[in-house]
């Protein structure tokens, strides 16, 4: 998939990065609700938390495995091939999913601010 870049005012985050972040955060919110509804030892169908607008990919994952993904505010669950190298750094590779983080400070701060688990 191709990421289209736009330019913004000097010193500001490009609009394409903001759009990616919004899509990722929405996916994470859906998965948080799914996780809350799951029981101990159960598996659930989670959505890909990638930044691609319109992505509707899902995968089955143990609730405990999703808990591992969400061990930090800046970690996101994505389907292999959905990582966006301009904004994601892959920190874990599994057969069915990847865990990516946000290495840029602006993206990390947005992830922290929107994380329901961050006090």
Whether 8 is in a domain gets the answer: no
Q: By three-state DSSP, how is residue 117 classified?
A: coil
Write down the pLDDT at residue 78. 96
* pTM value surpassing 0.95: no
Sole residue written with tokens 């101990």: 40
Contact present, 27 and 116 (Cβ < 8 Å): no
State the total domains in the chain.
Answer: 1
Q: How far apart are CA 81 and CA 44, in angstroms?
A: 21
Using DSSP's 3-state secondary structure scheme, residue 28 falls into helix
* Residue 3 within a domain: no
Q: Which of 20, 77, 90, 17 is nearest to 48 (CA)?
A: 77
54: in domain: yes
Give 78's strand partners.
Answer: 98
Range of the domain at 83: 15-114
Residue 23 within any structural domain of the chain: yes
- pLDDT tens per residue, the chain (119 residues)? 444 444 444 446 778 888 888 888 888 888 888 887 766 668 899 999 999 989 999 999 998 898 899 888 889 999 999 999 988 999 999 999 999 998 876 666 666 666 666 55
DSSP structure class, residue 67: H
Question: Is residue 1 domain-resident?
Answer: no
Residue 4 belongs to a domain: no
Bridge partners of residue 90, in order along the sequence: 100
- Residue 6: inside a domain: no
Tell me, yes or no, whether 39 lies in a domain: yes
Measured torsion, CA atoms of residues 36, 50, 72, 112, in degrees rounded to the nearest 10: -100
pLDDT the model gives residue 106: 61
């Amino acid at each position: 998939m191709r990421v289209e870049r736009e330019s913004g005012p000097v010193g500001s985050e490009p609009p394409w990065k903001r759009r990616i972040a919004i899509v990722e955060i929405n996916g994470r919110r859906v998965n948080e609700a799914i996780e809350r509804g799951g029981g101990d030892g159960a598996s659930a169908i989670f959505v890909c938390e990638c930044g691609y607008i319109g992505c509707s990919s899902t995968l089955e994952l143990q609730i405990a495995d999703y808990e591992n993904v969400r061990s930090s505010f800046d970690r996101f669950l994505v389907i292999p091939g959905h990582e966006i190298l301009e904004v994601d750094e892959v920190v874990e590779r599994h057969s069915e999913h990847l865990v990516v983080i946000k290495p840029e400070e602006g993206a990390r701060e947005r992830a922290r601010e929107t994380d329901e688990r961050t006090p």
